[in-house]
Amino acid sequence: MSTPGTSGGTQPATGAGGVEITAAAALTADDVLVRLRTSPGGLPEDEARRRLRTVGPNALRTHRARGLAVLARQLRSPLLVLLAVTAVASFFVGERADALIIGVILAASVGLGFFNEYRAERAAEALHSQIRHRCLVLRDGRPRLLDVTDLVPGDVVELRLGDVVPADLRLLAVADLECEESVLTGESLPVAKSPEPVPEGESLAELASCALMGTVVHAGSGTGVVVATGGAAEFGRIALQLGERHPETEFQVGLRKFSLLLVRVAAALTVSIFAINVVLDRPFIDALLFSLAIAVGISPQLLPAVVSTGLAAGTRRLARHKVLVKRLVCIEDLGDIDVLFTDKTGTLTEGRITFARALGPDGRPSDETLELGLLCNEAVAAGDEDAGPGPASGMLTGPALDVALWEAPGAGTLRPELERCRRLDILPFDHQRRAASVMVRREDGGTTLVTKGAPEYVLARCPAAGGQARSMLEAEFAAGNRVVAVATRQITEGERQGALSPADERDLTFRGLLVFLDPPKPSAPHALERLTALGVTVKVLTGDNATVAAKLCADLGLPPGRVLTGHDVDAAGDDELAGLIEQATVFARVSPEHKARIVRTQRRAGLDVAFLGDGVNDAIALHAADVGISVETATDVAKDAADVLLLEKNLDILADGVVQGRRIFANTMKYVLMGTSSNFGNMFSAAGASAFLPFLPMLPSQILLNNLLYDTSQLAIPTDTVDAEQVARPTRWDVRLIRRFMLFFGPISSVFDFVTFGIMLWVFHAGPPLFRTGWFVESLATQTLVIFAIRTRRIPFFRSRPSLALLLATLTVVTVGAVLPLTPLAPLLGFQLLPAPFFLALGLMVVAYLGLIEAGKRWFFRAAPPSAAGRERTPAHRTHRRAHRFTTAGALRHGRRRAGFTAGRGRGRRR
Ligand SMILES: Nc1ncnc2c1ncn2[C@@H]1O[C@H](COP(=O)(O)OP(=O)(O)OP(=O)(O)O)[C@@H](O)[C@H]1O
Ligand SMILES: [Mg+2]
């Protein structure tokens, strides 16, 4: 995937409104700023606005529901077009009334599909407009949080850990910046970045001086100037080539294959029916209309509408269950989860960390230790950013442990002590080393370094700490408490001048332990049981200590098995790690990178992996997972990285989400199985009947009406209730099962059609209108009522109740069908009054049919092999997923139409 330097001439080619990224990579940072006519302080606001107007939004997708596009999709079916054309022809040469009726019914079908799909698109649009992806941009020299879609070439952007790079950037400055670029290059190892120019003509993977749109900040931070946005960026180009449609989930691919199967069957039937009718010397147009109507009846036109209606209804239901999905298809992803990696704090524990006690090095309670903890502390009172040692007043924010220290009972009385110290420098907490340090100057003139952090880290830097410290620690860990250690060192005059660095955290003296409590969440054991019952394997990824994590899991009834630590993960190769993950349930002392690597490795095993986390340290793992889950109260980076947001950090809520996802799948499957069995069988009978009857077994308009009524009843399927066993396992699409179902149940339904034919011909001695009416009513009744048998594997009604909406819709449709021949519309539609005994026969047939289907069902599902199909997700899936971050409610503008703004180079993109 290399991009050769296409510029050729003396000047680099201008991307749409910017500079070609490979050219920018080769220039010095200053040169790039000059070319983009910007400065390290960013663009002035009005210039940025002007550029946005010329260049267009930094977007690859639009989430505006477009009525015309939805309508066009309804009309795209060649079958419908052919049928409409034939109906028009028939209007001029043959039956005017019949052609008109066909027209009306067709319009109604299209309208039904349109209405439902459009409504679902509006729901998707509403979802998107709730979600904003933002980035930190310098404008007029001041930092601002902007929607990524508002970025223009020349903007200066700040990158933080866990960010998705919002555009193609030429880096101006970095601090240990590493990007994970697998969406672009396929390379999963993160790449180190530096602002030094690279030789011209390098491939994308070698552009170390650039951060590319769509890639993820894996470590460090940086600043860069936007070189290209939207479709002009490398990622944009790829995403646009994939087309604008939403990513196809495996489910959708399955649906498409299934539709194709039916279309083929329909084509074969149409051609042979048409041939038979022509051979039998029937009127040409009638034969054509008849066969086309049958084909329309078979093809599952409402399938997209049923799926999107199901998804849209699903989002509403999920929202009531406190789960927000960012895109409709995320619901399906939720249902597919095989493995859930979750963090510990707040998910498995209460998440309200409280201070328990401070222990001195001798193991006795010690105010001095607490005082040190308050000195080395990053909590601030909201609106009180420049606080000295410790916040003055008001609501505290900052690291949870630090806030808990300030809320400790003794903290207030220590305030006078603390005020005698001045904080000279601070080395903030980071998740890599798991410690923080401050340099403080005491009133007596001495300067002290205070380090507070994970005990493993701190004790390793206290040469004199002996067995006493370790046994104190072991006792606290074994009790499942969260512990940090505090240590100090006197600072010499010379050292005081330099800035603090992690290297200063050495030769420390152990000063004691701070012990915190975060009790297990009472609701967690039940939620874990539910997830296990749903076939979701839960694994815990935490930065906390192994003993603590294992104890917690054991307390919650989650057998910890072997506990892996960050060291184990580092020591293992990729294949070995895959094996280890298999055996382990708890991963302790893992860093943000470990979390991401574990998730990636698990995904490679072909499983659907979800990750739940809420910290900055969780963002890259959220990006790496198939489904990233975060919570409403999480840090922005985590919320931004997630696909699904829980309004409450609670595994129970997540279990609801999984069930909803599977519900939708189960209900769509009902529609599919219906379409393949009864509907397909009916149409098959029509084909057979037309071969031996001297007249058309049903008028084309009657077939269409029959189909329209049937479809209407099907639209209630997404509301149906779902049996527990239908949501008990992760869902997998299985075309083989569908095909077998069709071949088995289709013929059963045909048998009853032929029985009807016999009854109509030999019992009622029916002429064409009566014959057609009888079959119309029978086929509508059997093919709609069979839903009650197909919707469950249990005994219908007794063991599994349908939803009220489905019950009403189905019964209404059957009644309408039966009553139609009694209405004034009857002559127009070619119906005739049915004799009363017919309804007796109909009743018997429906009962016999449903009975036979019940028996068949039992046999079929006993014989059906369990589907064990794994899934392969294509790289395109991830590209699509990430492209969704760059979406706008407005129109997209891409490619040549855009004029570049760079003076003298506004030639638009070359290609
Ligand atoms: N403010 C702090 N000061 C010093 N040390 C801290 C601080 N916060 C956390 N630590 C130490 O770092 C360790 C890891 O904490 P971190 O918050 O990174 O874990 P995490 O992966 O988010 O865990 P969880 O799964 O519980 O959310 C803690 O166990 C503790 O020892
Ligand atoms: Mg956390």
Return the residue whose CA atom lies nearest to atom 16 of ligand 1.
543
For helices 735-758 and 250-279, angle between their N-to-C axes, nearest 10 degrees: 30
> Can you tell me the distance from the alpha carbon of 892 to that of 873, in angstroms, rounded to the nearest whole number?
28
Contact 539 CB / ligand 1 (< 6 Å)? no
Ligand nearest to the CA of 457: 1
Domain CATH code at residue 640: 3.40.50.1000
Q: 599 and 635: one domain?
A: yes
What average pLDDT does range 403-408 have in this prediction?
Answer: 90
pLDDT above 80 (res 848): yes
Q: 156 and 269: one domain?
A: no
pLDDT above 60 (res 121): yes
Spacing, Cα 160 to ligand 2 middle (Å): 17
Does 326 or 583 have the greater pLDDT score? 583
What average pLDDT does range 862-890 have in this prediction?
Answer: 64
Confidence grade of residue 431 (pLDDT, cut at 50, 70, 90): confident
Q: 202 and 260: one domain?
A: no
Atom of ligand 1 nearest to the CA of 541: 25
Atom of ligand 1 nearest to the CA of 349: 26
The pLDDT > 90 percentage for the chain reads: 36
Return the residue whose CA atom lies nearest to atom 30 of ligand 1.
454
Asked whether residue 201 is domain-assigned, the answer is yes
Confidence grade of residue 104 (pLDDT, cut at 50, 70, 90): confident
Contact 51 CB / ligand 1 (< 6 Å)? no
**How much is the pLDDT for 33?**
93
pLDDT above 70 (res 731): no
Q: 151 and 224: one domain?
A: yes
Q: Point out the residues that are catalytic.
A: 343
> Can you tell me the distance from the alpha carbon of 686 to that of 270, in angstroms, rounded to the nearest whole number?
11
Contact 542 CB / ligand 1 (< 6 Å)? yes
**How much is the pLDDT for 911?**
29
**How much is the pLDDT for 904?**
31
Domain CATH code at residue 165: 2.70.150.10
Atom of ligand 1 nearest to the CA of 542: 25
pLDDT above 60 (res 114): yes
User: What are the tokens at 652?
Assistant: 């129970």
Given the DSSP bridges, would you call strands 584-588 and 609-612 parallel, antiparallel or unpaired?
Answer: unpaired
CA nearest to 636, candidates 127, 98, 148:
148
Q: Provide the 8-state DSSP code for 561.
A: B
Domain CATH code at residue 857: 1.20.1110.10
Given the DSSP bridges, would you call strands 216-228 and 156-159 parallel, antiparallel or unpaired?
Answer: antiparallel
The pLDDT tens digits of the residues spanning 325-355 come to: 887 778 878 888 999 999 998 899 988 889 9
Cα–Cα distances (Å) from 563 to 431, 535, 651, in that order, read 20, 22, 21
Spacing, Cα 351 to ligand 2 middle (Å): 10
| Sequence letter at residue 428 | P
What's the domain range around 635?
Answer: 329-348+521-647
Contact 431 CB / ligand 1 (< 6 Å)? yes
In terms of C-beta density within 10 A (0-12 exposed, 13-18 middle, 19 or more buried), how is residue 291 classed?
A: buried
Contact 150 CB / ligand 1 (< 6 Å)? no
Handedness of CA 570, 576, 577, 581 (dihedral sign): negative
Asked whether residue 904 is domain-assigned, the answer is no
Show which of 580, 614, 647 is a domain's final residue.
647
* CB burial readout 805-837, b (16+ within 10 A) else e: ebbebbeebbeebbebbeeeebeebbbbebeee
> Can you tell me the distance from the alpha carbon of 551 to that of 485, in angstroms, rounded to the nearest whole number?
20
Atom of ligand 1 nearest to the CA of 434: 12
pLDDT above 80 (res 138): yes
> Can you tell me the distance from the alpha carbon of 896 to that of 906, in angstroms, rounded to the nearest whole number?
10
Spacing, Cα 617 to ligand 2 middle (Å): 7
Cα–Cα distances (Å) from 885 to 65, 150, 217, 221, in that order, read 17, 13, 15, 20
User: What are the tokens at 728?
Assistant: 């008990």
What average pLDDT does range 556-585 have in this prediction?
Answer: 91
Which residues, including other chains, have CB under 8 Å from residue 199's CB and lie 6 or more apart? 26
> Can you tell me the distance from the alpha carbon of 633 to that of 615, in angstroms, rounded to the nearest whole number?
10
Partners of 506 in the beta sheet?
none
Q: How many domains does the chain have?
A: 4
pLDDT above 80 (res 846): yes
Contact 615 CB / ligand 1 (< 6 Å)? yes
What average pLDDT does range 650-665 have in this prediction?
Answer: 89
Spacing, Cα 795 to ligand 1 middle (Å): 53
Question: DSSP secondary structure string, 131-188?
Answer: ---EEEEEETTEEEEEEGGG--TT-EEEE-TTPBP-SEEEEEEEEEEEEE-HHHH---
Show which of 502, 517, 532 is a domain's final residue.
517
Confidence grade of residue 863 (pLDDT, cut at 50, 70, 90): low
Spacing, Cα 618 to ligand 1 middle (Å): 12
| Termini Cα distance of the chain | 16
Q: 807 and 723: one domain?
A: yes
Asked whether residue 493 is domain-assigned, the answer is yes
Mutate to test the pocket of ligand 1, among 344, 370, 434 (most ligand atoms within 8 A of CB): 434
**How much is the pLDDT for 95?**
72
Asked whether residue 97 is domain-assigned, the answer is no
> Can you tell me the distance from the alpha carbon of 718 to that of 806, in angstroms, rounded to the nearest whole number?
9
Q: 528 and 507: one domain?
A: no
Asked whether residue 604 is domain-assigned, the answer is yes
Domain CATH code at residue 501: 3.40.1110.10
The whole-chain average pLDDT of the chain stands at: 83
Confidence grade of residue 496 (pLDDT, cut at 50, 70, 90): confident
Does 16 or 534 have the greater pLDDT score? 534
Q: 334 and 361: one domain?
A: no
> Can you tell me the distance from the alpha carbon of 598 to that of 588, in angstroms, rounded to the nearest whole number?
12
Contact 484 CB / ligand 1 (< 6 Å)? yes
Q: Provide the 8-state DSSP code for 865.
A: P
Spacing, Cα 465 to ligand 2 middle (Å): 29
Which residues, including other chains, have CB under 8 Å from residue 477's CB and lie 6 or more apart? 483, 545, 547, 548, 551
Partners of 537 in the beta sheet?
339
pLDDT above 60 (res 280): yes
> Can you tell me the distance from the alpha carbon of 451 to that of 458, in angstroms, rounded to the nearest whole number?
7
**How much is the pLDDT for 589?**
93
pLDDT above 90 (res 715): no
**How much is the pLDDT for 900?**
34
- Lowest mean pLDDT segment, chosen from 12-21, 150-159, 318-327: 12-21
User: What are the tokens at 274?
Assistant: 């048409």
The pLDDT tens digits of the residues spanning 359-397 come to: 999 889 999 999 999 999 888 765 444 444 445 555 677
Cα–Cα distances (Å) from 422 to 366, 370, 447, 486, in that order, read 22, 17, 9, 18
In contact, 761 and 696? CB cutoff 8 Å: no
Q: What is the pTM of this model?
A: 0.78
Atom of ligand 1 nearest to the CA of 540: 25
Show which of 500, 517, 534 is a domain's final residue.
517
Spacing, Cα 544 to ligand 1 middle (Å): 6
What average pLDDT does range 862-888 have in this prediction?
Answer: 64
Q: 544 and 602: one domain?
A: yes
| Sequence letter at residue 737 | L
Q: 766 and 851: one domain?
A: yes
Q: Provide the 8-state DSSP code for 515.
A: E
> Can you tell me the distance from the alpha carbon of 628 to that of 622, in angstroms, rounded to the nearest whole number?
5
Return the residue whose CA atom lies nearest to atom 14 of ligand 1.
543
Return the residue whose CA atom lies nearest to atom 6 of ligand 1.
453
Supply the ipTM of this predicted assembly.
Answer: 0.96
Asked whether residue 167 is domain-assigned, the answer is yes
Does 675 or 642 have the greater pLDDT score? 642
In contact, 303 and 255? CB cutoff 8 Å: yes
Asked whether residue 106 is domain-assigned, the answer is no
**How much is the pLDDT for 18?**
65
Spacing, Cα 430 to ligand 1 middle (Å): 9
In contact, 792 and 723? CB cutoff 8 Å: yes
Atom of ligand 1 nearest to the CA of 398: 1
Contact 453 CB / ligand 1 (< 6 Å)? yes
CA 579, chain centre distance (Å): 27
Element (H, E) at 778: helix 768-785
The pLDDT tens digits of the residues spanning 778-812 come to: 999 988 998 998 888 888 877 888 999 999 999 99
The pLDDT tens digits of the residues spanning 460-492 come to: 999 988 888 899 999 999 998 999 999 999 988
3-class state of residue 63 by DSSP: coil
Return the residue whose CA atom lies nearest to atom 12 of ligand 1.
434
The residue behind tokens 């003993």 is 547
Contact 401 CB / ligand 1 (< 6 Å)? yes
Radius of gyration of the chain, Cα coordinates, nearest whole angstrom? 34
**How much is the pLDDT for 389?**
45
In contact, 592 and 617? CB cutoff 8 Å: yes
The residue behind tokens 């057609």 is 772
> Can you tell me the distance from the alpha carbon of 805 to that of 172, in angstroms, rounded to the nearest whole number?
60
The pLDDT > 70 percentage for the chain reads: 90
Cα–Cα distances (Å) from 693 to 278, 419, 685, 761, 771, in that order, read 14, 102, 12, 10, 11
The pLDDT tens digits of the residues spanning 595-625 come to: 999 999 998 888 889 999 998 889 889 988 9
The pLDDT tens digits of the residues spanning 235-250 come to: 888 888 776 555 555 6
The pLDDT tens digits of the residues spanning 745-784 come to: 888 888 888 999 999 999 999 999 999 999 999 999 988 9
Which residues, including other chains, have CB under 8 Å from residue 181's CB and lie 6 or more apart? 187, 190, 191, 204, 205, 212, 215
Q: 255 and 230: one domain?
A: no
| Sequence letter at residue 543 | G
* CB burial readout 349-379, b (16+ within 10 A) else e: bbbebebbbbbbbeeeebeebbbbbbbbbbb
**How much is the pLDDT for 249?**
59
The pLDDT tens digits of the residues spanning 247-266 come to: 555 666 777 777 777 778 77
**How much is the pLDDT for 388?**
44
> Can you tell me the distance from the alpha carbon of 114 to that of 305, in angstroms, rounded to the nearest whole number?
8
Contact 481 CB / ligand 1 (< 6 Å)? no
Asked whether residue 126 is domain-assigned, the answer is no
What average pLDDT does range 279-286 have in this prediction?
Answer: 81
Atom of ligand 1 nearest to the CA of 431: 18
Question: DSSP secondary structure string, 335-381?
Answer: HH--EEEE-STTTTB----EEEEEE-TTSSB-HHHHHHHHHS---EE
Contact 594 CB / ligand 1 (< 6 Å)? no
Contact 544 CB / ligand 1 (< 6 Å)? yes
Q: 824 and 700: one domain?
A: yes
User: What are the tokens at 878?
Assistant: 């991830």
Q: 695 and 625: one domain?
A: no
